[in-house]
Amino acid sequence: MKKRLAAALAAASILAGATAPATAQTFDLQSVFGLNVPSIGPSPKLWAERVSLMTGGKVTINVHGAGDFVPPFEVFGAVSSGALQMGFDWIGYWAGQIPVANLVGSMPFGPEPDIALAWMFNGGGLEIIQKAYDPHGVVVLPCHLVGAEAGGWFNKEINSVDDLKGLNMRIAGLGGKTMAKLGANTQLVPAGEIFVSLETGRIDAAEFSAPQLDVGLGLQRVTKYYYFPGWHQPSSWDSIIINKAVWDGLGADTQKVMKEACYANIAYNLHDQVNAQAAAIKTIREAGVEVKRFPDAVLAALKAASKDVLAEEAAKDPIFAEALASLTAYMDGVGEWARLQALPRD
């Protein structure tokens, strides 16, 4: 409680001086992740370091880990209310308040990272998404592009669609809705609780992220199979979220620096992820986990179910529908380039 009160008082201090920013400014940011989670954990700290560097030390952002001020899944509400000045998230966690966040966080059979990146900053994606954040008084800065994930960790072999029925699985976003359509019992478990949930049998399977991040959670110690591809999340976004009054109190130069620091963060994390996956998969195999691909028939069923899920979500929310139409058209439009450039593979 004392920590939460301190955060609220700090936010109030910034809001009170929003119209006249001081020469030096200090902010607090809480992540939804622990700061020691591979790749994602250090990301907001790297962003904060870049902001400090690019402002000559005039802007300091103190980065806090999951639960330091509020529980992980309350970060968005705290930033919206001003109790927190800034947060770092996986965008899809806020789908309850912002339905389009589900699409940006986990579009099944969606865009690969390069297409997701181009759509966000050149295809009108950010402008559409920000409209959904505006009523909540939150500014969103896409700041960490996560590459293709794994399909998940399982303690039973998946040979057919029937094997998904009754499966208790930790899976987030639209992928979870898709799995539910095929009979799985899905739930959202915070990152820090996935290991124990698998170890105790509370869940039979779980997806979290790419091998680099998954191996850091130790999931290879409590599962038998590791499946690919990550059909539910070929790419996804983590973001910096900032209270609108705090954002408006920044100078234009500082706002630009924060955006530019995100561009640098995205580039760093993309190459870091690619570099780390092979070693992570090797570690997983050495732990005795069998690395497998979902059968084609299972992937076909998941793709069909995901189309129904996307259509249903679009019918419920106009911004989701706008973003889906925009992203789908963008994927089709720029897809020709990839098809023309495709090289034969062995």
- Please report the beta strands in the chain, taking only residues with DSSP state E, as ranges in sequence order: 25-31, 59-64, 86-90, 138-146, 152-154, 168-170, 185-187, 205-206, 225-228, 236-243, 290-293
For residue 170, the surrounding DSSP H or E stretch is: strand 168-170
How far apart CA 267 and CA 313 sit, in angstroms, is 31
Q: What is the pLDDT of residue 346?
A: 66
Query: Which domains are delineated in the chain?
Result: 2-147+235-275 (3.40.190.170)
How far apart CA 346 and CA 21 sit, in angstroms, is 59
Nearest CA to 220 out of 279, 176, 275 is that of 279
Q: Which two tokens stand for residue 161?
A: 């669609």
Q: What is the pLDDT of residue 289?
A: 97
Q: Are the C-beta atoms of residues 114 and 40 closer than 8 Å to each other? A: no
Condensed to tens digits (0 to 9), the pLDDT of residues 81-123 reads 999 999 999 999 999 999 999 999 989 999 999 999 999 999 9
Q: Which two tokens stand for residue 86?
A: 């800034």
Residue percentage of the chain with pLDDT more than 70: 93
Condensed to tens digits (0 to 9), the pLDDT of residues 217-226 reads 899 999 999 9
Residue 130 has pLDDT above 50, yes or no: yes
Regarding pTM above 0.95, the answer is: no
Condensed to tens digits (0 to 9), the pLDDT of residues 36-87 reads 887 888 999 999 999 999 999 999 999 999 999 999 999 999 999 999 999 9
* Backbone torsions φ then ψ of 84, nearest 5 degrees: -120, 145
SS3 10: helix
How far apart CA 119 and CA 191 sit, in angstroms, is 28
185-187/168-170 β-pairing: parallel
27: left (phi over 0), alpha (psi -120 to 50) or beta: beta
How far apart CA 129 and CA 241 sit, in angstroms, is 12
How far apart CA 65 and CA 29 sit, in angstroms, is 9
User: Which residue type, as a one-letter code, is found at position 104?
Assistant: V
Burial of 179 from C-beta contacts in 10 A (0-12 / 13-18 / 19+): buried
Q: What is the pLDDT of residue 19?
A: 38
Contact partners, residue 105, CB within 8 Å, separation at least 6: 90, 91, 92, 93, 95, 172, 173, 233, 236, 237
